[in-house]
Amino acid sequence: MTTMKTVFNKTGGLTDKPTHYCPGCTHGVIHRLVGEVLEEMDILEETIGVASVGCSVLSYEYFNCDMTQAAHGRAPAVATGVKRVLPDRFVFTYQGDGDLASIGISEVIHAAARGEKITVIFVNNAIYGMTGGQMAPTTLIGQKTATTPFGRDVSIQGSPMKVCEMLSTLDGSAYIERVSAHDVQHIQKAKKAIRKAFETQKKGLGFSMIEILSTCPTNWGLDPFESLEWIKENMIPVYPLGVFKNKEGVN
Amino acid sequence: MGKVLMKGNEVIAEAAVQAGCKYFFGYPITPQSELVAYMARRLPEVGGLFLQAESEIAAINMVYGAASTGVRVMTSSSSPGFSLKQEGISYLVGSELPAVIVNIVRGGPGLGNIQPAQSDYFQVTKGGGHGDYNIPVLAPASLQEIVELTQDAFNIADKYRTPVIVMGDGMLGQMMEPVEFGIRKVPELPEKGWATTGTRGDGPPKTITSLELNAESLEQRNHSLQRKFAIIKENEVRYETYKMDDADFIMVAFGTVARITMNAINKARKDGIKVGLIRPISLWPFPERPFIESRDKVKGYISVEMSAGQMVEDVKLAVNGHAPVDFYGRTGGVVPTQEEIYEKIIMVAGGILI
């Protein structure tokens, strides 16, 4: 007689709804990591998530907790409103690079500067996904997009924006780390970072953000495997992984 | 509590606090900054929170976040800042979140000036942001009326799950008058089972969103909003009339200008000119009834505004061709005088009606 053993389960941090993400997009992996952390910390019932505009706009249908959908870029302001009313709950935003680094850069900078006790999950795939592959502030130099058809040119479009580096200069930032979702080892590191960010919030130490390098096979014009390689070969050299801010007390 | 002498902006703030508003997110702009400063001092006293946002856009989105938890929350601004809030206001309407937004109007367009105006009338009454919507707009004419209407604004917001605008011109915000608080009892906050506060084991997760990707579903949602607007239109019309019974001519004015117009009416009455006043208190829903009841009996209407002519369009719609409608307005922050309005009445009564 053989005994069956469960080796892998769906996380209770996500709903049963199938996601709409393109094949090979790492949003699904990142959703799962956030869901697992919320479940393992047993804080799903104490959490309010704020969805952004862009590919992750429907994330409110996937996370198994209360969710509010914010206007383009405004998630950190909405999260501020929620957290200031309910300081004992966990509040996170889930934002892409167009949402956070372009239209919403002011909101995230000031939320960090105020030391808002929220966690920002910042998914950086160096392109606008939902709107069809236009340039983002994080688009790499030379990268071809719908609005940089000849490649991003520093003299015209400027340089990629390094959000972790920028926000880590602010006193209100408590924990800031950049991770990547391109292989198993890095995905495990990403999960640890997300957990640390929520623990930072739990300790009331200030603003926490995890930037996760992510794929966009559809708009990059690459297959899923090439996309993972592209993160490793092209994105990480521009967006180095690591901890950028680790305030005393984080651990 | 007896009467106290206070500035209009501070009266709005105190009335809001007494209406149970514990959260305020704002950004300073003249001529409403005293409201922001008052909240910064006052809210900690009642266990509330004041936060100065980095912009009007952030402020209205903080309001959105706070409103989504079910608390009474407010923001205030003046014209250029109010324009910036329009994005958030459209989202508040779309997500059906209650909040109170104050607009102390100044001269525009653009940076304009800091003098009193009413030229945001279109913006507040015709939607303002994107999409099909209307918002209840209350326009007090005195500081005592502010006390009542600010509290009403919160009640209307909660009752219909909608943002509500309190609109005054810069003069109303800056003037001082004796006011009395605490006359009316503040009702208990209604149940807000829709609020996202963390499920706390209290059933499945809730979502607050204005997104509806399917066109037919969004149309249904719009129909549902329109039904709500129709109910608001039915229940929340407010206006005052003055010396209407025997009037040949009816002035239409709101806010500070209504008070000046009333003085002009009294002067004209002494000269034997039978003139009355309709003062809309709710700018949306616009009070159509007093026009319908009077439009076949009078020689005409004169809309008096601190704008180049905005409310006059609603007056014309309500009169619907039954009588002539004339307009007198000053713009750019100029406040019309009693004499100017009197002269206009004399001209119109003398037969120079356009």
Residue A104 Cα, gap to closest chain B Cα (Å): 10
pLDDT band at B188 (very low <50, low <70, confident <90, very high): confident
**How many other C-beta atoms lie within 10 A of the C-beta of residue B309?**
15
- In the β-sheet with A207-213, what is the strand arrangement from edge to edge? A242-246, A173-180, A207-213, A119-124, A90-96, A47-51, A66-69, B207-208
Q: Which of A61, A71, A79 is the closest to B88 by Cβ? A: A71
Cut 0.90: pTM above it: yes
B320 and chain A in contact, CB less than 8 A: no
Beta-carbon separation of A107 and B61 below 8 A? yes
Which chain A residue is nearest to residue B91, measuring alpha carbons?
A71
Subunit contact A77:B51, Cβ cutoff 8 A: no
Q: Which of A48, A57, A61 sits opposite B198 (nearest CB)?
A: A48
Give the one of A47, A69, A107 whose C-beta lies nearest to B58's C-beta.
A107
Decide if B203 touches A, using CB distance below 8 A: no
**Whether residue B354 has pLDDT greater than 50:** no
* Chain B neighbors of A82, CB-CB under 8 A: 65-66, 68-69, 196
Q: How far apart are CA A162 and CA B155, in angstroms?
A: 46
pLDDT in tens, A121-166: 999 999 999 999 999 999 999 999 999 999 999 999 999 999 999 9
Residue of B nearest to A110 (CA): B54
**DSSP 8-state assignment for residue B68:** T
Q: Do B198 and A60 touch (CB under 8 A)?
A: no
φ, ψ at B67 (rounded to 5°): -60, -35
User: Residue A163 gets which letter from DSSP?
Assistant: H
Query: Is pLDDT of B264 > 80?
Result: yes
Does B198 sit within 8 Å of A86, measured CB to CB? yes
Interacting residues of A62 by C-beta distance below 8 A, sequence separation 6+: A14, A15, A17, A19, A31, A35
Q: What is the mean pLDDT of residues B20-37?
A: 97
Q: Give the model's confidence band at B1: pLDDT under 50 very low, under 70 low, under 90 confident, else very high.
A: low
- Beta-carbon pairs below 8 A across chains A and B: 134
| Contact call for residues B25 and B66 (beta carbons, < 8 A) | yes
Q: CB-CB: which of A60, A71, A85 is closest to B69?
A: A85
- State yes or no: pLDDT of A45 exceeds 90: yes
Whether residue B62 and residue A61 make contact (CB cut-off 8 A), yes or no, is no
pLDDT for B182 equals 80
pLDDT tens for B210-243 read: 999 999 999 999 999 999 999 999 999 999 999 9
Q: Say whether pLDDT at A119 is over 90.
A: yes
Write the CB contacts of A45 (distance below 8 Å, at least 6 apart in sequence).
A65, B198, B199, B200, B201
For the four alpha carbons of A22, A25, A27 and A30, in that order, the dihedral sign comes to positive
- DSSP 3-state of A175: strand
The Cα B295–Cα B291 span in angstroms is: 5
Residue A102: exposed, middle, or buried by beta-carbon count in 10 A (0-12, 13-18, 19+)?
middle
- Identify the residue with better confidence: B67 or B202: B67
What residues in A contact B65, CB-CB < 8 Å? 50, 68, 70, 77-85
pLDDT digit string, tens, across residues A170-210 = 999 999 999 999 999 999 999 999 999 999 999 999 999 99
Candidates A78, A94, A99: best to mutate against B (most CBs of B within 10 A) is A78
pLDDT of B25: 98
Is the CB of B17 inside 8 Å of chain A's CB atoms?
no
Average of per-residue pLDDT across A215-242: 98
Res B238: pLDDT: 98
Task: Measure B146 CA to nearest chain A CA, in Å.
Answer: 26
Does residue A1 have a pLDDT over 80?
Answer: no
Q: How far is CA A76 from the centre of its chain?
A: 13
**CB-CB neighbors (< 8 A) of B55 in chain A:** 106
pLDDT for residue B330 is more than 70: yes
At A143 the three-state DSSP class reads coil
Q: Residue B353 has what pLDDT?
A: 46
Q: Is the pLDDT of residue B294 over 70?
A: yes
Name which of B58, B67, B198 is nearest A66 (Cβ-Cβ).
B198
